[in-house]
Amino acid sequence: MSLGLHERRARRRTKFWFAFAKWTFALLMILAAGGYAYYAGENLARREVIRLDTEIQTLNDERAKLEEERALLEEQIRTAVTRAKEWESQYRRDVPTGEMQTFLGLVEKKLQDGITPDRLAFLIEQAKEPEDCVDEPDTKRFIVRTPLQKGANDSVSFFGITITASGESAVNQNGQVEAWFDIDKPITVAFTQLGGDAVSKTGLLPLHHALIGQGNEHRFTISPGPRGFVLVTGQRCAYP
């Protein structure tokens, strides 16, 4: 009977230690799994940090490169603007405008007509404002020709020079074309001397023009007159 009790106790101890060993092994496995997971997570986090640091460095490098490119572009723009202003200033200095452009055009035409540069230079040097005018200024008026206005009283004469003019027709508020010329648009004035020599000048009123003939300078000013008319003031002065 004591032998049976002893065996039962032995079996209980064996069963206890077996259960203890099983739970101890399970606990160790859990601890090992946790340790592995922690280690793996730490490595993953470290790699992610390294990756992010690399990306940050790359972005910083790209930003620095873009800033350098922007600074270079800004410098190029400033240089281009400076050069453009210099070219504009040089263009204004070198390219004549207004009266100077008209004057140079006349000089070029005379050279093309065969007048020598020395002759032109001499005449320019001798030119001066007339001090000895033969006549007092005289003013006449005439009608400006338009597509709808042609006929009498469309010319005047000074010193053997016939003056006529043509322009665009005026348009009233209803869009209808009138017979008289549009004073706000350029007109063309023709000066015809005895013998048939004629010159013309186009522009907005008032217009100024001078002709040399018969040893005199004939000076004219064309200005607006009554509707459809222009006024011409002429004066004859000594030349040169």
Residue 87 and residue 161 in one domain = no
Inter-residue contact 167 to 188 (CB < 8 Å): yes
77 & 151 share domain = no
> Does residue 74 lie in a domain region?
yes
Taking alpha carbons only, the member of 222, 239, 240, 220 closest to residue 231 is 222
Are residues 171 and 232 located together in one domain of the fold?
Answer: yes
Q: Is residue 220 part of a domain?
A: yes
The pLDDT of 178-190, averaged and rounded, is: 94
74 and 161 co-located in one domain = no
Q: Are residues 162 and 64 in the same domain?
A: no
Same domain (yes/no): 84, 20: yes
- Of the two residues 44 and 141, the one the predictor is more confident about is 141
pLDDT band at 15 (very low <50, low <70, confident <90, very high): confident
What is the average pLDDT across 143-149?
Answer: 92
Answer whether residue 108 is part of any domain.
Answer: yes
The pLDDT of 116-126, averaged and rounded, is 67
**What does the pLDDT read at residue 5?**
65
Is the separation of the CB atoms in 216 and 134 below 8 Å? yes
pLDDT digits (tens, 9 = 90+) for 186-213: 999 999 988 777 899 999 999 999 888 8
| SS3 sequence of the chain | CHHHHHHHHHHHHHHHHHHHHHHHHHHHHHHHHHHHHHHHHHHHHHHHHHHHHHHHHHHHHHHHHHHHHHHHHHHHHHHHHHHHHHHHHHHHHHCCCHHHHHHHHHHHHHHHCCCCHHHHHHHHHHCCCCCCECCCCEEEEEECEECCECCCCCCEEECCEEEEEEECEEECCCCCEEEEECCCCCEEEEEEECCCCEEEEEECCCEEEEEEECCEEEEEEEEECCCCEEEEEEEEEECC
Burial of 176 (0-12, 13-18, 19+ CB in 10 A): exposed
Supply the pLDDT for residue 98: 66
Contact 207, 201 (CB under 8 A): yes
The answer to whether position 3 is within a domain reads: no
**Are 85 and 27 within one domain?**
yes
Q: What is the pLDDT of residue 163?
A: 95
In the chain, pLDDT over 70 holds for what percent of residues?
88
- Does a structural domain hold residue 4? no
Residue 126 above 60 pLDDT?
A: no
For residue 5, is it within any domain? no
- In this structure, the answer to whether residues 64 and 114 fall within a common structural domain is no
Compute the distance between CA of residue 26 and CA of residue 29 in angstroms, rounded to an integer: 5
Considering its fold, how many domains does the chain have in total? 3
Is the pLDDT at 161 greater than 80? The verdict is yes
Check whether 1 has a pLDDT greater than 60.
Answer: no
Q: Structural domain of residue 230, as residue ranges?
A: 132-238
Same domain, 232 and 136: yes
* Residues 72 and 116 reside in one and the same domain: no
What integer best gives the mean pLDDT of the chain? 82
- Cα 219 to its chain centre, rounded Å, is 40
| 156: nearest Cα among 144, 172, 168 | 144
Q: Higher-confidence residue: 229 or 85?
A: 229
* Residue 64 belongs to a domain: yes
10: left (phi over 0), alpha (psi -120 to 50) or beta: alpha
Comparing 33-37, 157-161, 185-189, 202-206, which segment has the lowest mean pLDDT? 33-37
